[in-house]
Amino acid sequence: MNTPTTAHDDRLIPALVAADLDLVVRENSRLAARLDTDRLRPVPRLIDDAWALYFTGAGRSGLVMKMAAMRMMHLGHTAHVVGESTTPAITEGCLLLAASGSGTTPGVLHTSREALDAGAGLLAFTTDPTSPLASLATHTVVLPAPAKQATDHAGSGQFAGSLFEQALLLTTDALFHTLAQLRGEQQAELWTRHTNLE
């Protein structure tokens, strides 16, 4: 077990957590206000036109993309997470949804190139519209968060890409709700597609 290097007053913790939670909420609210939602206009059609969806990302972004895959499954899509043992090969007519804050993550770029070579489309989520990932993509959604390596707190007081990862979750969840509304899906219908093996 790690031993704290400095003593702290437990009485301060509730106020500190409340302040940091406020920071996270405020930063995401500012990002949502700056998000170019016009860039999301073609996304529902890209998703609906694909006969299967594939999701990829590294680290925490990869975890968010797994959550996004689950939500698309709830909408009735065939959804696969890249790297899982049961994920089939991607083919023409599929869509890869790839997330990388920097747009330079080697594994994500490799997967993206493989998908394009197979004839699939590529929907990218990144902070950098000039990144290698954005240049490959069929369509790019730019989440206006600072790069993971930024240490000057410009644009965020959070650590190492946290704002991008949070915004990625919020944006993919918002897309899920938008798609459900466009289709007239009801909560009860969505729930019938939820796994009963948890």
| pLDDT tens-digit series, residues 161-189 | 899 999 999 999 999 999 999 988 777 66
Give the mean pLDDT of 71-81: 95
Q: Which domains, ranges and CATH numbers included, belong to the chain?
A: 40-147+159-191 (3.40.50.10490)
Largest alpha-carbon pair distance within the chain?
58
The pLDDT-based confidence of 133 (bands split at 50, 70, 90) is very high
Cα separation, 50 vs 121, in Å, equals 8
* Contact call for residues 179 and 47 (beta carbons, < 8 A): yes
Cα separation, 170 vs 35, in Å, equals 12
User: Strand pairing partners for 96?
Assistant: 54, 122
Active site residues: 165
Sequence-distant (≥ 6) Cβ neighbours of residue 174 within 8 angstroms: none
